[in-house]
Amino acid sequence: MTWKYELVIWLEIHVRVKSQTKMFCSCKNAVELAEEPNINVCPVCMWFPWMLPKLNAEVVRLGVIAGQAMKCEVNKISRFDRKSYFYPDLPNSFQTTQLYETIVGQWDVRVLVNWELKHFKIHHMHLENDAGKLTHVWGKTLCDYNRAGSPLMEIVTEPDFRSKDDVVEFLKELQKMMRFANVSDADMEKGQLRCDVNISLRKFGENILNNRVELKNINSFSSIGRAIDTEFSRQAKLYEKWEYVDQETRGWDDDKGVSNVQRSKENAMDYRYFPEPDLLPIVLTDEFIADCASKVGELPIDRRITYLNDYKFKEDDARILSADRDISDYFDSLVALTKDANKSNSYITSVLLAMMKEDAEVNTFASLRFEISELAEVIALVNKDELSSTNAKLVIEELFVNGGKTSAIVDAKWLRQTNDLWALEAVVDKVIESNPTQVADYKWGNERIFGFLVGQCMKASAWAWNPKIFNDILKNKLG
């Protein structure tokens, strides 16, 4: 029966803005909740009588940058509204949000879903403040207002999503955009990216929007997939029985794999929206918008398309290299220096990232102990056949552990591949000199010793050359 129905989904996404201070006061906007409750609070974010909010310009700047990262239209004038409701996590019984005139308008976001480029429309994005956090223990409720008044961006999409893959890939792309633009860490597990999924079904071929169910409390990409599957079959079963789907809000319980009704249409709240009297409209100048645009940089999706189409990389490599801005920037800079995308890719993905994963101290590109030009030099030497790929790895390991200069390491460790016979002869002479007994043995007719001497030459030159070269020189010298 499921083949009869088409999924229709739209999303409401909350993203925590990574500003230094809260939205309307100078309290610290902690990225993670502090262990001690109620330490990042003040009379403004606790909305004591006579306190007035003062809009944080950094929040506006980051909001505009995020809007431009999504390629959305930025509105030069936007305003705040009050959304009234009573709940203990809200100290003032209203949320300051933007309903009528939002800071960011519509456009669409491009996403690769199973390697097909799709477009999903954004209805708008607005700014609003977060609420506190309630913890229910021993039959009591504890309120922590550290998060109250922290800035949020709410992104509302059009009903453009037709599968769970659409939703999950869109959210992953959005997360990357927020991280690349440095406006939020957008970590779902830490509640920095929260998504309410609005799901309805219709028969294929229909063009209507049926009653929708809003699913809340979903906090990982994998549980979003599970929640959508479960809700799809729940609604399909209802339609099959000729029953209605109630327009309601349901909370997702990931442990049990079920959703439960939180709020039905009958008791939907009236938020009594009205213009916020304590805040002036946000008026943006062209210069401000242009300055924000300059901070966005090349988007992750564009980088991934370049890696796939221009460099012909494998999908996995393209995904790794565009997963985070540090990796992507480092890779792009290395390609600019070496003009060799393939080697830049393989030395980053299979050598450098593997070492960074194992190292507690050097696990970011900023903490590397060597300049990027040294890695470019390694690639240049390999391309000139002066360094073997095995030895290139040794040099990168040495750079990684102790830093330094590529050319100095290559020379100190005798790693330079050369056709310079003089250098090779020097190695052989040294081996002959330091193994007199074995040399004498060989000269007496013990042929098996010869292999040992070649091995010693290889070892002394750190396996940089073909053993055949040493074979020839040794034969020559030992007669």
- Residues lying near Zn ion in the complex (CB under 5 A): 25, 27, 42, 44-45
C-beta of 279: minimal distance to Zn ion in Å? Answer: 15
C-beta of 143: minimal distance to Zn ion in Å? Answer: 15
- Length of the chain measured in residues: 479
φ, ψ for residue 241, nearest 5 deg = -90, 10
φ, ψ for residue 14, nearest 5 deg = -105, 130
Across the beta sheet with 94-97, the strand order is: 94-97, 81-84, 274-275
Short-list 189, 187, 142, 190, CA closest to 37: 142
Pull the structure tokens for residue 202: 């219709």
Q: In the complex with Zn ion, which residue's Cβ is closer, 44 or 70?
A: 44
Give CA–CA dist 155/104, Å, rounded: 9
Q: In the complex with Zn ion, which residue's Cβ is closer, 127 or 186?
A: 127
Q: In the complex with Zn ion, which residue's Cβ is closer, 42 or 462?
A: 42
Give, for 8, the enclosing helix (H) or strand (E).
strand 5-16
Q: In the complex with Zn ion, which residue's Cβ is closer, 42 or 156?
A: 42
C-beta of 27: minimal distance to Zn ion in Å? Answer: 3
Pull the structure tokens for residue 453: 């001497």
Pull the structure tokens for residue 135: 């913890």
C-beta of 95: minimal distance to Zn ion in Å? Answer: 15
Short-list 141, 159, 116, 142, CA closest to 12: 159
C-beta of 191: minimal distance to Zn ion in Å? Answer: 19
Q: In the complex with Zn ion, which residue's Cβ is closer, 25 or 380?
A: 25
C-beta of 16: minimal distance to Zn ion in Å? Answer: 16
Interacting residues of 210 by C-beta distance below 8 A, sequence separation 6+: 8, 200, 201, 202, 245
Give CA–CA dist 109/123, Å, rounded: 11
Pull the structure tokens for residue 95: 């949320």
Q: In the complex with Zn ion, which residue's Cβ is closer, 25 or 348?
A: 25
